[in-house]
């Protein structure tokens, strides 16, 4: 599923980026080779970061 329509970033790509250590939305965009545009996907990305961080504990 595509989460970031502006950059065509999928939920899987976001998950991989977060698991590789991207712990802010801007690092996730960076690791996907993209830049934040409209910003409507940042809530999803923040949620994903939160999920991964809480799963690690």
Give the footprint of ligand FES on this chain (CB under 6 A): 4-7, 36-41
What angle do the packed helices 11-19 and 42-56 form, to 10 degrees?
Answer: 40
Rounded to whole angstroms, the Cα distance separating 53 from 35 reads: 23
We find the least distance from the C-beta atom of residue 42 to ligand FES, in angstroms, to be: 7
Q: Nearest approach, Cβ of 39 to ligand FES (angstroms)?
A: 6
Residue 40, phi then psi, degrees to nearest 5: -75, -15
Q: State which residue, 26 or 55, has the beta carbon closest to ligand FES.
A: 26
| Residue placing its CB nearer to ligand FES in the complex, 5 or 47 | 5
């Amino acid at each position: 599923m595509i989460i970031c329509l502006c950059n065509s970033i999928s939920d899987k790509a976001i998950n991989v980026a977060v698991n590789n250590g991207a712990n802010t939305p801007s690092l996730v965009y960076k690791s996907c080779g993209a830049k934040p545009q409209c910003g409507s996907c940042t809530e999803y990305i923040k949620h994903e970061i939160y999920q991964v961080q809480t799963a690690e504990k």
